[in-house]
Amino acid sequence: MKAYIKSPGAFNAYLNENLVTVEVESLCVGPLDVNCYIVGCPQHQSCAIVDPGDSGKMIMDAVASRGWTVTRILNTHGHVDHTGANRMLKQITGAPLAIHRLDGPMLTHPSMKDMAAYLGLALSPEADILLDDGEDVAICPCQSLKVIHTPGHSPGGACFYHEGFLIAGDTIFRMSVGRSDLPGGDHDTLIKSIRQRIFTLPDETIIYPGHGDPTTVEFEKGNNPFVMSAFFR
């Protein structure tokens, strides 16, 4: 499967109110070019892996190169292109796997088994943790990611927020939005999620999408044609 680090050696660092740095690395993995994110705290040498869609060895090599311990495996939603390395990473790290509770059943659903076989990916194991909107997922004693439920692409689609950035899965992309024609999807719900849950974040918030290049809340407010058209309905 194709996999590569999108920005070799480049990290985006943010400071929380305690002046502790969080580092985010993006790796592009799998046949559908999914963005997998490693969100780490160098102070505690801990990290969460978000959407390990494939290439578990490459992901673990990136983690090992920093000497970090994986404390969480997180999925923004249950589609197999975002979960294909869940099983491998869980076996290697022992870290708990977490997803929003409405997408939990999707991880092992027969439709995902068929899609995994089609794409040459491994089916995910069941989640250890079922997340709810507003919950804080700890990476280490001083850092966490907040769960923002953003249904529309899937019933349990969720974003993970830290001051300065949002890992958005397939909810929103640069000048585009996620598909809503898959089982459990709904376009109006998706647009509502974007407008009410993402566009209410600070304008300078960087959006790290599930596919493609990063963007910002401010840019998407003024340039995303799918969301802008909803204002004129």
CB count in 10 Å sphere of residue 137: 20
pLDDT tens track for 80-118: 999 999 999 999 999 999 999 999 999 999 999 999 999
232's tokens:
């004129």
- The whole-number pLDDT of residue 228 equals 85
In the predicted structure, residue 48 carries a pLDDT above the cut 50: yes
Task: Name 40's bridge partners.
Answer: 23, 47
Degrees (nearest 5) of the Cα angle 169, 146, 80?
30
Sign, Cα dihedral of 42, 86, 29, 135: negative
Give pairs for 175-180: CB < 8 Å, separation 24+.
Answer: 175/215, 175/220, 175/223, 175/224, 175/225, 176/212, 176/224, 176/226, 177/224, 177/226, 177/227, 178/152, 178/153, 178/210, 179/153, 180/152, 180/153
pLDDT tens track for 135-194: 999 999 999 999 999 999 999 999 999 999 999 999 999 999 999 999 999 999 999 999
Burial (0-12, 13-18, 19+ Cβ within 10 Å), 195 = middle
pLDDT tens track for 3-47: 444 443 443 444 444 444 789 999 999 999 999 999 999 999 999
> Average pLDDT of the chain?
91
CB 30 within 8 A of CB 115: no
State the Cα–Cα distance between residues 77 and 152, nearest whole angstrom. Answer: 11
- The whole-number pLDDT of residue 110 equals 92
CB 4 within 8 A of CB 27: yes
Q: Which residue has the higher pLDDT, 62 or 8?
A: 62
CB 187 within 8 A of CB 180: yes
Domain count within the chain = 1
Domain with 121 in it: 3-232
- The whole-number pLDDT of residue 230 equals 57
State the Cα–Cα distance between residues 107 and 51, nearest whole angstrom. Answer: 12
0.75 surpassed by pTM: yes
The region that residue 181 occupies, defined by phi over 0 for left and psi between -120 and 50 for alpha, beta otherwise, is alpha
State the Cα–Cα distance between residues 31 and 28, nearest whole angstrom. Answer: 10
Q: Output the domain CATH number for residue 97.
A: 3.60.15.10
Helix, coil or strand: residue 40: strand
pLDDT tens track for 186-216: 999 999 999 999 999 999 999 999 999 999 9
